[in-house]
Amino acid sequence: MNKTRCILIGVLLLISTFTIAEQLFTPEQLREDLDFLVSKIVAEFYNPWLKVDEDVFWNLVAEKRAQLDHDMTWSEFYMIAAPLIAILHDQHSMLCPPTDAEIKVFPFRLRRVNGYAVVVNSICKLPVGAIVTKINGIPIENIIEELQVYGSSETLESSLNWRVNYFIQALPEWWGIEEFEITYLRRDGKKTLKIESASSKDYKWVPQPVRKRSPSFELHGSIGVLKIPSFNGSFRQEIIDRMEEALDSYITDLIIDVRSNPGGDLEPVISLMEYLVDKPTELTIGIGSKSHTREGTKYIVSKYNIYIYPAEKHFSGRVWILTDENVFSASLRFLSYTLKADIGTILGERSSETANFGSNRKGYLLPNTKCIANLSKARILLLEEGRHIEPDIPINLSLEEKISWIIGEADPMLDKALKIVKEAQKGGYSSSE
């Protein structure tokens, strides 16, 4: 018996041992869950056919239903059913595991950085900033390609990050293996590391890497920097307080830094915008949703009245918005609102996601596996369909510069932004500099 076959048999034995302890569902139960999922997509999602051809969708349904011909665990069912939501390309719609599931995960998280899979958080010996090239001898690009049918995103650009930092983190669950060999690159060369999986109860399975989320304000001479790494509703008052701190400072220019902001709630966005407008301003195009008429159910776009009214205080200096490719949801709202209101100059990178996205998410519990189908009930229309947030002045960073920010050694993008603002204070800036 050759070595390769021995390895494959060993892996299969590990998988079978791993899955025996889990509850198994019959083909009838699995098909019931799949049919329930499909019915909710058709009836509740704002427009299933906005980004996918109807025939393509139904062919995929038939293909997935045919695969449910034997007993499976919830995770095996999940890997079959999840693409039925992913194909809708909506950043707030996805199939979630049962709430009580203890998922096997890697004790590290990855993010796609300039085409590489970079470690952005770790609780094991794999260092933050390392570039993962292989997992169990399989090139990371092959794994990413295998997972291309999963994720929750408007665009392929963004889904690459979803697959890298969300679905790859749970490879121990999908593969049914608890021990791995990681091949990675560091400044001192290529290395390998043996690691064991962790539990999602001890190391949370999350779509975004963990960074400091609390807003902050700092001074750089006559330039203020307001950092907002999240629009989570719990930070609304902190955002107000930090903005008030900026208004009380002697600054001529304000950089609002929303890099890698995964979103949050609308209220903090509105609270911030109130300090930036000088008159009542309407900031959305509309909202798309299902409408039940005599002619049947249709997707229609209605008026979506979001008005921003000026706060008592108003920042009258120059506003600069610093952003990158990793902005989602409420941060896209903020960037779109600044564009609509013609506020400030956008610095940094083009957003990987488009400005418009699904919202008003509702969860539907599948009857047997207890997976949860999260589906958007409406689509927020902020800018023209398909439009990304483009910087007025691009700031391009090398892989090494981005990694230096990830590991906390430096912040080259902010440094370059400050240089741009200082040049503007002197009378001008050339984007070729």
Domains, in order of start, for the chain: 104-199 (2.30.42.10), 216-358+380-422 (3.90.226.10)
The token pair at 307 is 């008005």
Task: With CA atoms as reference, report the closest residue to 265 among 239, 306, 240, 231.
Answer: 231
CA distance 337 to 356: 12
Q: Dump the DSSP string for 135-199.
A: ETTEEHHHHHHHTTT----SSHHHHHHHIIIIITTTHHHHHT-SEEEEEEEETTEEEEEEEE-EE
Coil, strand or helix at 291: strand
Segments of the chain scoring below 70 in pLDDT:
1-21, 207-212, 429-433
**Threshold 0.85, pTM exceeds:** yes
Instruction: Enumerate the β-bridge partners of residue 292.
Output: 297
Fill in the amino acid letter for 123.
I
Residue reference for tokens 């979803």: 162
Q: Could you say which DSSP state residue 297 is in?
A: E
Residue reference for tokens 């690009």: 141
Question: What is the tens place of the pLDDT at every residue in 190-231?
Answer: 999 999 999 999 998 876 654 557 899 999 999 999 999 999
Q: Could you say which DSSP state residue 252 is in?
A: S
CA distance 240 to 188: 45
Q: So what's the pLDDT on residue 95?
A: 94
Task: With CA atoms as reference, report the closest residue to 185 among 140, 226, 123.
Answer: 140
Question: What is the tens place of the pLDDT at every residue in 403-432?
Answer: 999 888 999 999 999 999 999 999 876 444
